[in-house]
Amino acid sequence: MTALPVSPAPAPSPAGEPLVDVRDLKVHFPIRRGVLIDRIAGYVYAVDGVSLQVRRGETYGLVGESGCGKTTFGRGLLRLVEPTGGSAMFDGTELRSLKGEQLRRMRRRMQMIFQDPLSSLDPRQSIDSILSEGLKAHDLYGSQETAGKKLRETLTAVGLPASALRKYPHEFSGGQRQRIGIARALILQPDLIVADEPVSALDVSVQAQVINLLDDLQVEFGLTYLVIAHDLAVVRHISDRVGVMYLGGLVEEASSDDLYADPLHPYTRALMSAVPVPDPEVEDARQQILLAGDLPSPANPPAGCRFHTRCPWKQETRCDTERPELRELTPGHRVACHWAEDVKAGKIRPHEVSVELVRPSGAGPGDGRVTETVAEVAGTLPPKS
Amino acid sequence: MSTRTRDKIDALAKTSADSGGTSLAVDALKRLSRNPVAITGAVIVTLFLLLAIFAPLIAPKDPYVRYLIDEIRQGTPLGGRPGFPLGTDQEGRDLLSRLIVASRQSLIVGVMATLIGLAVGMVMGTLSGALGGWTDTILMRFTDVLLSIPSLLLAISIAALAAKPGQWTVIVAVSIVSIPIFARLLRGSMLAQRGSDHVLAARALGVKERTIVFRHMLPNSLSPVIVLATLTLATSILEAAALSFLGLGDQDPNRAEWGAMLGEASQRYFDVRPEMALWPGLAIVLVALGFTLLGESLREALDPKNRR
Amino acid sequence: MALLDVRDLRVVFHRRGTEPFPAVDGVTFSVEPGQTIGLVGESGCGKSVTSLAIMGLLPKRGATVTGQVMFEDTDLLKLSDRQLRDRRGRDIGMIFQDPLSSLNPVIPIGLQVTEVLQRHRGLRGKAAKTEAEGLLKSVGIPDPNRRLGEYPHQLSGGMRQRALIAIALACRPRLLIADEPTTALDVTIQAQILALLRQLVEGTGTALIMITHDLGVVAGLCDQVNVLYAGKVVETADRHRLFGEPRHPYTHGLLGSVPRLDSPRGEPLAAISGSVNDNIPWTSGCAFAPRCSNAIDQCVEQTPALEDDGLRLLRCFNPVAPETAASQEVPA
C-alpha cells in the first residue's frame, strides 16, 4: 500500500499478449450546418477503420502528419471522443460497451499524457491537488500520510523534488511540467499510458530527458505505451512497433527496426526520406522523395487508396478504385498497398505526380490539374555508415 | 566539478528551488498593486465605501431637518452660506449632508443589484455550461429575449410595473438587466473550459463529472465574471440613478438619492441654481469611474496572457 | 566582402518592475552573397530577437539595441524608420514561422504580392500581375493565376508558406531571413519548402539567414552554423566541422539529445540536464555552467571569451575533447 512499484493489474494477462485490441475503429465527426435546426451536411472521417493491437509491456508508436487522425484515434480508444464504429478491447473488456461509472472506474487503468504540459494542468491547482485528484477519484487517497508518501514517491520517480508539491504549474519549466503530467498518470498505477505528442512542445535538450524518463518508467513499472507523435525519429527511438497513419487509416505497421530498414508503403518511404538528420554527410548524400501537393481533406477523402493522389508509384488500375486492406507481407510487417511487392522488388518505378489542388476548407479537389516536377527522384535513404 | 563550484552555481542560478508556491490570485494582486490605474480606482472606491459607511458621522448636519425653511421664498433653494457650504435644497435642508448620506443609497442599490444579478446569472450560466443540450437552449433563448431589449428601457418597464415604486423595485429592475449578461458570460467561459486540455485531462483521469464542473471548469471561468461584476457595480449605480432621475425611484421625499437630486435640480432649479445639479452628477460620475478603473485593471491583471 | 555584417549586437529588454534583461548579448556574424548562415538554439537563446533587431522590428519602447548591423556600407541601426522600411522588402526579405498570422487575412494573396511590387519596384497593373503570377509559380504554387484572387485561409499551410516566400522574394532581396520557416509544417511539406529555399540560394545568389531549433534542418542547408545560448554565440563553425566534431559541451549535448532516424535503437539518449531556465548570468561566468557536464571551477569565476582557433569560434574553458566529439559522429 505504500510502495509504488506494485504490479497493478488485477487480472494481468501475460506479457506479449495483446492488452489493447482495436478492430476497425471509426470516429466520424458530423459537420453541422444550419441556423436554427442543425442539419448534418457531411462527415469528417477522422479515423476511418483502424485495426491494431498493443501487446502488454511494449511501446506502440503511432506516427503520421497533422490531420491523419492519430490524436483522434488515441482519444477514441480511451473514449474521450465517442467512436462511431468498430471495437476497442482493453484487457478483455469491450470499452465501447462500458457505461458511465464503469467507464470512469476503468480509466484508472488507462491514462493519458498530453502534448502541451501547461494547458493540460489546471492553472489554479497546486501540484499537490493535481496529483491527489486521481487518487481521490478512484478512492485510493487513504489517509493524509499514506497519500503524501505516495505523492512524494511518484515525484521522485519522475525526477522532481518533494518541494514541488506546494507550487503551481506556472512556476515550472516546460520539461518539469511534462514530468508533472507524467506523475499524474503514473500515480494511478495504470496498465496503459497513451502519450499524445509527449515531447513535441519541449525544447530539444529537454525532449531527451523526457524520452529517457518514459523509457525508465516503463522498465520500472511494467507500463504499456501507445505513443502518438509526428516525429518519426522520436517514435522510432522509443517504440517497439510502429504504425504509420495517413488520412484516417493505418497504411503500414512493422517493428521499429523493420520499418526503418525496409519501408514498404510509398507514403512511409516519402515520410522517412523527408525527416532531416542532424548530419551533413547524410543530408548531402540523401535522395528525397518529395511528395507533391498537400493532404486531401478528411471530409472528402479520395476514393480507393487514400494516398493515390500524391503517390509517385500510383498505377493505372486499382489504386483509385479499390481501398487496399492491411496485409502481412513478411512476418509482423503489414502494409496497405496493392503494389507493395512490385514497389519493393523495384518492378514499378516512381513517376511524376499531377497535383490535384487541395482545398483546406474541404470543398473537394479542385478542377485545375497542374503537373509539378517534384517527385522525380526516388529511392530510400542512403545506406547508413 | 568541485562542490565549491556547485555551491556557487546554486547561489547564482535563478532556480531557487524552495521559493515559490504563489497561486494565480496572489500573482494577480501583486500585479494590481503595481498598476497606477488600479490604485486610482481603488482609492476612489475606498473613499466612496468609507463615505457611505460612515455617512451619519461625516455629514455636518442632519440631512432631514429643514433648517432654513423660513428663509425659502417661492420654493427657491438657497446658495452657500456660513454653516451650509453648498447651500440648501428647496426645503431648507443642508445640501452637503444630503449628498453625503445619498452615497449610502447608491452603495446599497449598486451592491444589492449586482449581487442578485450575479447570483441568478451564475446559476443560469453554470447550468447552461455544465449541462448543455435542452437546458442550455432554453436558458439561452430566454437571455436572448432579455438582451434584445435595451437595458435602460427594460429597467424602466420593470420599475414602472411596480404598484408602489421604492428602493426594492429599483434594485430588482437593475439586477434583472444584468442577469443575462452574467449568464451569457459565464456560459461562454465554461464552454471554453469544457474544450480545454486540463478538463480533458481530468476526464481521462476518471474524475467525476460533477467534480470537473465545480473544481476545474467553474473556478477557471470566474475571472471574467469578477471583472464584469466590478463593472456592473458602476452601471448599476448609474442605472439606479437614472431611474430615480426619471422619478421611478423611491417616492419618499425625505430620502436622499443622487439620481433624484440631479433630476430635481436640473428640471426645476437649473435656471436659478445650476451648481445644484453639478454636485450629485459629479458624485455619480466619480463613483462609476472608480469602479470602472478598478474593473478594467482587474481584467488586465487576471488575463492569463500577462502572466510571466 | 560580406553582404551583412553584424557586430556586437546587443538587445536589452526593460520591463517595469524587473531587472533589464539582455536577450541578445554581443552577437557577431556575417553573411556573404549566396551563403546560408544558421542561427541555432533553444527557446530564449535570442535567435529570433537577433533577426527582429536586424530588421528593426523591435518595439522602440522597452528594448535597447546597440552594436552594428552593416548591410554593405550602411548601418541599419542608424537608419530612420522610413529609410529602414524602404530597405525591408527591397533589400531584405523575411519569412516567419506562422504563415497564417503573417499574411493579411482580408486581402487576396495577389494583392499582397502586387502591393510589394508596386511599393518597391514601381510595377503597376498588368505588369505587376504578370510578375506576381510568375513569383507564385517560381515558389511552386500550382495554378498561380487563380491563387492570386484567393484569400490566405483558402490555402493550405504549405501553400501559405510558399506565398509568404513569394512576397519576401517579390523585390529580389539580396538577403532573406527565415525565422523557423518550417516549424509549423509537416515533415513532407517541410522537405518541399527546404528544397525551395536551397534552390533559391543556389539559383539566385541570395544570402539566407536560417533561424531554427532543428539541427536536422541546419545540417542539410547551412554553410556555417552559429550555436546560441542565453544570448551569446557559444560555437561557430562550418557545418561539417560543427556536426562532425562539436566541441562546445552545449552543441555536443544538443546533438546527443536528438534521436536520429538512422541511429541504433535501445540506447538512452545523452540528455542535457536541467532546462534553459537554469542559467547563471554571463557576467558571473558561463551561462551554461549549471547544466554542463564539463564544468570546472573557472566556469563560474570568469566569463569565457569567443576564441578563434582557425577552424571554429568557441566560447568554452573546458571544451569536449576532439576524439570524444568525433566519436559521436554516426555510430556504426
| pLDDT tens, residue by residue, A253-266 | 999 999 988 999 99
What pLDDT score does A385 carry? Answer: 32
- Among A249, A276, A301, identify where a domain stops: A249
> Does residue A241 share a domain with residue A114?
yes
Q: How far apart are CA B8 and CA C300, in angstroms?
A: 7
Domain boundaries, position A367: 353-385
The answer to whether residue A256 sits within a structural domain is: no
pLDDT in the model for residue A250: 95
Looking at residue A345, its pLDDT comes to 85
Q: How far apart are the first and last CA of chain B?
A: 33
Residue A111 lies in a domain: yes
Residue A132: pLDDT band (50, 70, 90) is very high
The pLDDT tens digits for B138-152 are: 999 999 998 888 888
For chain B, the residues whose C-beta falls within 8 A of a C-beta of chain C are 1-2, 4-5, 8-9, 12-15, 34
Chain B residue numbers touching C230 (CB-CB < 8 A): none
For the record, the C-alpha cell of A35 comes out as 441556423
What is the number of domains present in chain A?
A: 2
Min Cα distance B289 → chain C (Å) is: 25
Most confident of A99-113, A361-375, C75-89, C171-185: A99-113
CB contact C290 to B (< 8 Å): yes
User: Cα(A159)–Cα(C274) distance, rounded to whole angstroms?
Assistant: 11
Q: How near does any CA of chain C get to the CA of A284, in Å? A: 6
Rounded distance between C-alpha atoms, residue A259 and residue A280, angstroms: 23
CA nearest neighbour of A270 among A68, A50, A65, A66: A65
Averaged pLDDT of chain C: 87
The strand pairing partners of A304, in sequence order, are: none
Q: Does C14 touch chain A (CB under 8 A)?
A: no
Indicate if A358 and A228 belong to the same structural domain: no
Q: Would you say the C-alpha torsion B245, B247, B250, B253 has a positive or negative sign? A: positive
- Whether C332 has a pLDDT exceeding 60, the answer reads no
- What long-range pairs does C18-24 form, CB within 8 A, spacing at least 24? C22/C231, C22/C282, C23/C49, C23/C231, C24/C49, C24/C50, C24/C53, C24/C231
Q: Is the pLDDT of residue B17 over 70?
A: no
Residue A11 lies in a domain: no
Residue C211 bridge partners (DSSP): C39, C179
Question: Using CA atoms, how far apart are residues B174 and B165, in angstroms rounded to an integer?
Answer: 13
Instruction: Give the pLDDT score at B90.
Output: 78
Cβ–Cβ of C275/A173 closer than 8 Å? yes
Whether residue C78 is predicted with pLDDT greater than 70 in this model: the reply is yes
User: CATH no. for residue A34?
Assistant: 3.40.50.300
pLDDT surpassing 60 at residue B279? yes
pTM value? Answer: 0.83
Please report the beta strands in C88-180, taking only residues with DSSP state E, as ranges in sequence order.
92-95, 175-179
Please check the confidence at residue A377 and state whether its pLDDT lies above 50: no
Q: Is the pLDDT of residue A292 over 80?
A: no
User: Does C187 contact A at CB distance below 8 Å?
Assistant: yes
From A145, A119, A123, select the one nearest A132 (Cα to Cα). A145
Of A249, A279, A300, the residue that ends a domain is A249
Mean pLDDT, to the nearest integer, of C109-126?
86
Q: How far is B155 from chain A, CA to nearest CA, in Å? A: 29
Is pLDDT of C280 > 80? Answer: yes
The reported pLDDT for the residue numbered A355 is: 56
Q: Which residues pair with A353 in a beta bridge?
A: A372
- Per CB-CB distance under 8 Å, the chain B contacts of C281 are 12
Contacts of C280 in chain B (CB under 8 A): 9, 12-14
Q: How many whole angstroms separate alpha carbon A369 and alpha carbon B264? A: 78
For A278, which residue in chain C has the nearest alpha carbon?
A: C216
Specify which of A317-331, B69-83, B267-281 reaches the highest per-range mean pLDDT: A317-331
Q: Is B196's CB within 8 Å of A188's CB? A: no
Class of domain B23-71+86-306: mainly alpha
* Cα B212 versus chain centre, distance: 29
| Nearest residue to C95 (alpha-carbon basis) of C199, C197, C202, C226 | C197
Q: Is the pLDDT of residue C143 over 50?
A: yes
C-beta atoms of C277 and B14 within 8 A:
yes
Distance CA A311, CA A307 (A): 6
Q: Which of the four pLDDT bands, split at 50, 70 and 90, describes residue B4?
A: low
Residue A175 included in any domain:
yes
Q: Cα–Cα distance between B31 and C17 in angstroms, integer?
A: 10
Q: Residues A213-247: pLDDT tens digits?
A: 999 999 999 999 999 999 999 999 999 999 999 99
* Higher-confidence position of B133 and A89: A89
Which one-letter DSSP state was computed for residue C154?
G
Instruction: Mark which of A218, A234, A249 sits at the end of a domain.
Output: A249
Inter-chain CB pairs, B–C, below 8 Å: 37
- Asked if residue A367 and residue A244 are part of one domain, the reply reads no
Q: Report percent pLDDT > 90 for chain C.
A: 32
Residue A258 falls inside a structural domain: no
Cβ of A280 within 8 Å of Cβ of C239? The answer is yes
Q: Is C285 on the interface with B (CB under 8 A)?
A: yes
* pLDDT higher than threshold 60 for residue C247: yes
Give the pLDDT of residue B12: 53
CB distance A80–B203 less than 8 Å? Answer: yes
Asked if the model's pLDDT at residue B288 lies above 60, the reply is yes
Q: Do C272 and A381 touch (CB under 8 A)?
A: no
Angle at C243 between CA C191 and CA A278, to 5 degrees: 30
**The sheet that has A59-63: what strands, in order across it?**
A110-113, A192-196, A224-229, A59-63, A241-246, A249-255, A333-335, A327-330
Q: What is the rounded CA–CA span in Å between residue C319 and residue A35?
A: 67
Mean pLDDT of A123-148: 91
User: Can you give the pLDDT at residue A59?
Assistant: 95
Instruction: Provide the ipTM.
Output: 0.85
Judgement on whether residues A73 and A196 belong to the same structural domain of the protein: yes
A163 CB within 8 Å of a chain B CB: yes
Give contacts of C297 with chain B, Cβ < 8 Å.
1-2, 4-5
For residue A5, what pLDDT band results from cuts at 50, 70 and 90? Answer: very low
Q: What does each C-alpha distance from C215 to A150, C42, C291 come to in angstroms?
A: 40, 10, 20
pLDDT in tens, A19-39: 999 999 999 998 887 666 677
Does A221 map to a domain?
Answer: yes
* Residue A203 with chain C: CB contacts under 8 Å: 42-43, 213, 275-276
Over range C139-156, report the average pLDDT.
84
pLDDT at A36: 63
Subunits that touch chain A (at least 3 Cβ pairs < 8 angstroms)?
B, C
* Nearest Cα to Cα of residue C272 among B246, B3, A204: A204
